[in-house]
Amino acid sequence: MIKTDVLIIGSGVAGLTTALKLAAERPDLKITVLTKTNKQESNTSYAQGGIAAVWNFDIDSYEKHIADTLDAGDGFCDEKIVEIVVKEGPTRVKEIIEWGTRFDKDHDNKEEYDLGREGGHSENRILHYKDLTGWEIQRTLLEKAKESPNIELHEHFFAIDLITQHHLGYTLSRLTPDIECYGAYVLDKNKDDIDMILAKVTVVATGGAGQVYRNTTNPVIATGDGIAMVYRAKGRLENMEYVQFHPTALYNPAGENPDFLVSEAVRGEGAILKTKEGEEFMQNYDERGSLAPRDIVARAIDNEMKVRGDDYLCLDCRHLDEADFKAHFPTIYEKCMSLGINPMKDLIPVVPACHYICGGIRTDEVGRTSINHLYACGECTCTGLHGANRLASNSLLEGLVFAHRIHLDILNVIDNIEIKEGIPEWNADSTTDPKEMVLITQSWKELKEIMSSYVGIVRSNVRLKRALDRLMLLYNETDQLYMTTTLSPQLCELRNLITIAYLISRSAAMRKESRGLHYTTDYPKKLPFRDLSIL
Ligand code: FAD
Ligand code: SIN
């Protein structure tokens, strides 16, 4: 058993920033950070385009960034939260610059940052480090965490479930008031043992769930564990139907997991979406063309692929300056070249891929969940910022802003919370080692097929019903395995992904309209009122 003041599950931008801020303010607190594989592997590390923040007040303003975020969110953003994130964002970005994060400077004026543009933004406001912004932020945060003596970072520690009154024998439901979190049961892969970590407060910062689809830009760790854990603990979730597909993942006929992203910043620099034959098509869908918000562009590409019977569409970068392209997008350039595509001479083949989950654990303006002593931060949350569709490069910003707010709230309450006594150890009686790994891997493949075929960019009542029926079968089979075999990360991840798939499909079936990222052929119009999907 481990006892700690603060347990943070996840070491991406959300988890590490929360940990660093708490550690700096309260060197007397023990802060335990868990990461399920190695500490570098997170969605954060893969972020390419950058971080959106109002920077040049001569051309930009908070009002413009707020308006762009609300417009992308299609009427479903929480305006108060949008204002908080946009207005506090620049200060939080300055903090990580002080901690050592590098952002590219302007070619002509080295005193100023080079501000990029992405879909849905009315001004250039994206700070970036080449096409490796997330990697640079992750590097900074990890280096700083290493210097903080009161942060203990455990790699290969896989959180299985949150501990609540349920583990003391009480029956809880989603209507039970005052559910409390006491920490988590965790599979320590270094010892192959299940530990109990008891904490005064717990922060879930477990990132996204892109691995629920066949094609995704998310790394293999993105299996929605935190969202599924909070759902099992009877916490409140919201907006799970809003799954963002990035319009331009690199089409690779050999298949790869994750799919490689061709950043929207490439379109921000002037690249244009075209058919294989070199015809532009985005003007037929939105006057902003290739830089319309993501939901519109992804749906347009999906439609063009279906109408034309093509496996991919293309991004034309041939008119862009070669030296600038190589300097801003070295990773994208190298990746294309490795597949025999020269972005300066050839069209880049692209397809939409699952990229970001806008819904998740419902939190308030200081990151509190519906469960006492449990906070959530980052992509696993639904703060109200993104509404029905996230504006590009607002996610890293959300992580920074909410990490700050969560740390302030924890500082206010932590001295009045005691670590809970009398929690039982994990019960692994009557379980055996899994005999056939194929039972897990095959179910995982089936799950991805179900979600990609029936709960993708375009949905319908019939498709959603098919998905839900098939998911029920997978759920029952996997639950049986879970009850009888020794736990492995793969089995836990499968179980979590089935929960995520169910939550997405169920929320989608409940929404009788098309809005933002949720489009259904049965209800193609928007409802005139706001109807939240709460689970
Ligand atoms: P993550 O960074 O994903 O971190 C999750 C952490 O939780 C990991 O450390 C993981 O190991 C840990 N974890 C998960 N489950 C468990 C468990 N069961 N037990 C223990 N630990 C666990 N956003 C932008 O704003 N700008 C961009 O340019 C941008 N580009 C992107 C490009 C790509 C290819 C991708 C995939 C995403 C991009 N995003 C971008 C989105 C953004 O990167 C993420 O939303 C954000 O980084 C999420 O941060 P996070 O801290 O919430 O989660
Ligand atoms: C990208 O670089 O296109 C991704 C940006 C984002 O997801 O915010």
CB 315 within 8 A of CB 350: yes
The whole-model pTM stands at 0.98
The pLDDT of residue 145 is 98
Q: Which SS3 state, helix, strand or coil, does residue 122 take?
A: coil
User: Are residues 489 and 461 part of one domain?
Assistant: yes
Evaluate: CB of 44 within 6 angstroms of ligand 2. Answer: no
- Chain segment 467-502, per-residue pLDDT in tens: 999 999 999 999 999 999 889 999 999 999 999 999
**Residue of 214, 267, 294, 299 marked active site:** 294
- Chain segment 233-283, per-residue pLDDT in tens: 999 999 999 999 999 999 999 999 999 999 999 999 999 999 999 999 999
60: in domain: yes
Give the position of tokens 């244009």. 272
Residue 366 CB coordination number (10 Å): 15
User: Are residues 316 and 173 part of one domain?
Assistant: no
The CATH number of the domain holding residue 315 is: 3.90.700.10
User: Are residues 363 and 348 part of one domain?
Assistant: no
* Closest residue CA from atom 36 of ligand 1: 218
530: in domain: no
The pLDDT of residue 36 is 98
Residue of 530, 397, 391 lying closest to 84 (CA atoms): 397
- Chain segment 106-133, per-residue pLDDT in tens: 988 788 999 999 999 999 999 999 999 9
CB 30 within 8 A of CB 201: no
The pLDDT of residue 429 is 75
Give the position of tokens 């002593």. 373
Task: Quote the CA–CA distance of 499 and 224 in Å, as a whole number.
Answer: 9
The closest-lying atom of ligand 2 relative to the alpha carbon of residue 391 is: 8
Q: Which SS3 state, helix, strand or coil, does residue 417 take?
A: coil
Q: Which domain holds residue 472?
A: 438-520
The pLDDT of residue 123 is 97
The CATH number of the domain holding residue 75 is: 3.50.50.60
Evaluate: CB of 48 within 6 angstroms of ligand 2. Answer: yes
263: in domain: yes
Residue 258: cis peptide before it, omega within 30 degrees of 0: yes
Evaluate: CB of 235 within 6 angstroms of ligand 1. Answer: no
230: in domain: yes
The CATH number of the domain holding residue 447 is: 1.20.58.100
294 is known as an active-site residue: yes
CA 93 – ligand 2 centroid, Å = 17
Where the chain has pLDDT below 50, the residues are none
CA 108 – ligand 1 centroid, Å = 33
The pLDDT of residue 107 is 82
CA 503, 382, 36 angle in degrees (round to 5)?
A: 75
CA 71 – ligand 2 centroid, Å = 17
Task: Quote the CA–CA distance of 418 and 223 in Å, as a whole number.
Answer: 31
User: Are residues 363 and 307 part of one domain?
Assistant: no
User: Are residues 395 and 448 part of one domain?
Assistant: no
Number of separate domains in the chain: 3
Evaluate: CB of 202 within 6 angstroms of ligand 2. Answer: no
CA 47 – ligand 2 centroid, Å = 6
Evaluate: CB of 264 within 6 angstroms of ligand 2. Answer: yes
Evaluate: CB of 32 within 6 angstroms of ligand 1. Answer: no
Ligand nearest to the CA of 269: 2
Residue 364 phi/psi, 5-degree rounding, is -95, -165
User: Are residues 199 and 125 part of one domain?
Assistant: yes
User: Are residues 333 and 276 part of one domain?
Assistant: yes
423: in domain: no
CA 132 – ligand 1 centroid, Å = 14
425: in domain: no
42: in domain: yes
User: Are residues 321 and 272 part of one domain?
Assistant: yes
CA 433, 434, 439 angle in degrees (round to 5)?
A: 175
Q: Which SS3 state, helix, strand or coil, does residue 188 take?
A: strand
User: Are residues 147 and 228 part of one domain?
Assistant: yes
User: Are residues 493 and 379 part of one domain?
Assistant: no
Ligand nearest to the CA of 15: 1
Ligand nearest to the CA of 395: 1
Q: Which SS3 state, helix, strand or coil, does residue 346 take?
A: coil
Burial of 352 (0-12, 13-18, 19+ CB in 10 A): buried
Evaluate: CB of 389 within 6 angstroms of ligand 1. Answer: no
Return all residues near 158 (Cβ < 8 A) that are at least 6 apart: 34, 36, 186, 187, 189, 225, 489, 492
User: Are residues 362 and 350 part of one domain?
Assistant: no
Return all residues near 299 (Cβ < 8 A) that are at least 6 apart: 285, 457, 458, 519
119: in domain: yes
User: Are residues 102 and 36 part of one domain?
Assistant: yes
The pLDDT of residue 449 is 97
